Structure 1
Amino acid sequence: MEKKTLVIGVIGADVHAIGNKILYHCFVEAGFNVINLGVMVSQVEYVEAAIESNADAILVSSLYGHGEIDCRGLRERCIEAGLREILLYVGGNIVVGKQPFEDVEKRFKNMGFDRVFPPGTDPETTIKFLKRDLKIGEEDESNITN
C-alpha cells in the first residue's frame, strides 16, 4: 500500500519547533510520508504544500494560543484550492487562556477541522486517529473515542 502523505507545521507567528520535530519523527516512524513545513507557516503554505505533494491530510499545530485566529478560514481556503476532502487536524495550545476543551473543539469543528486535539495529546493518539480516518490497516478501534 502506498504511504499516506501528511503536511505538518506550526501555524501563524508561532515559533515552537520542538513539538513539531517530535511529531515529524513519530509520523515517519508510523509509516507516513511527512512534509514538514516547520514554524511560522501560513495557510497558503499549507495549501500549496498539500497540492504539490498530493497530501491526504494537513495537521496544524499551535502552542502560542492564537491558533483560533490563525486557523480561521483554512477549510474554505482548501475548498477553493480543490482540496475539499482533505483531512484537517489541529492540536496544541490553540486558544488563549484556560477554556473548556469541549467548547474549543466545537468551535474548531465548526471551522471545518475533522479532529481537534487538546494540549498534551500524545503522538500515538493522533496516529491512531489518522490510521482510522485514512482507512489504513485493520486498527483495533476499541480504545479510540470519537
Structure 2
Amino acid sequence: MSTDHAQRATRCLVAKVGLDGHDRGAHVIARAFRDAGFEVIYSGLHRAPEEIVQAAVQEDVDVLGISILSGAHNTLIPKVIEGLQSYDAFEDTLILVGGIIPEEDKPQLEEAGVDAIFGPGTSIEATVEFVREHAGSE
C-alpha cells in the first residue's frame, strides 16, 4: 500500500552545521515541531555538511531545518543541498534555514534550493504552519 508515507508523522531533521555553537533556537524549534506532532531528529552541534546529508538520507526526512548563526551560510548550506542532490534526496526534502541571514544573501540561498528562511522574531506558529502546508506536498 502507498499509504504508509501519508499516515506517518512528518519527519524533521533539525541540524546545526559548521562551528556555530549556539543551539538554543534549534532546541526551541525542535520542541515546537514535536509539540506539533512532527517526528524530530536533532543533529547535535558542529556537524559537517556531509554528516547532515547522511543523517537526512538515512532517516528519510521530509524536512531539513538548518540552524546557522556563524555567518558561513553561503558556503555550508549549498554543500548540504549538493549532498542531498547527489543522493537524489533533494526533491523530496523541504529545506528550511533559521538564523541571522542578511537580506542580500537570501536570494543566493533560495536559488541554491532553500525553500524558506526564518529569521529572528519569526513566530513558531508561522514556521509550523509552513511545514504543514509544504512538507510532502509533492
Do they fold alike, i.e. is TM over 0.5? yes
Paired residue total: 130
TM-score by length of 2: 0.85
| Cross-structure match for 2:63 | 57
Residue-by-residue CA offset, 1:110-130 (whole Å, 9 max, x unaligned): 111111122332222111110
Please state whether the residue corresponding to 1:8 is helix, strand or coil: strand
**CA root-mean-square deviation:** 1.6
**Does residue 19 of the first structure (1) align with residue 25 of the second (2)?**
yes
Please state whether the residue corresponding to 2:61 is helix, strand or coil: coil
Which amino acid letter does the alignment assign opposite residue 135 of structure 2? Answer: L
2:75 counterpart (69, 72, 96): 69
Q: Distance in 2 between matches of 1:73 and 1:21?
A: 23
Give the gaps of 5 or more residues in structure 1: 137-146
Give the gaps of 5 or more residues in structure 2: 1-6
CA contact (8 A) 2:17 2:67 kept: yes
**Does residue 88 of the first structure (1) align with residue 89 of the second (2)?**
no
| Cross-structure match for 1:124 | 125
TM-score by length of 1: 0.81
**Does residue 113 of the first structure (1) align with residue 114 of the second (2)?**
yes
CA positional deviation for 1:133: 0.3
Q: Distance in 2 between matches of 1:122 and 1:41?
A: 26
Q: Distance in 1 between matches of 2:30 and 2:52?
A: 15
Please state whether the residue corresponding to 2:53 is helix, strand or coil: helix
CA positional deviation for 1:135: 5.5
Which amino acid letter does the alignment assign opposite residue 126 of structure 1? Answer: T
1:123-142 to 2 correspondences below 5 Å: 123-134=124-135
Q: Distance in 1 between matches of 2:118 and 2:125?
A: 12
CA positional deviation for 1:62: 0.8
CA contact (8 A) 2:62 2:136 kept: no
Please state whether the residue corresponding to 1:69 is helix, strand or coil: helix
Q: Identity percentage over the alignment?
A: 27
Q: Distance in 2 between matches of 1:14 and 1:6?
A: 20
CA contact (8 A) 1:3 1:33 kept: yes
CA contact (8 A) 1:28 1:34 kept: yes
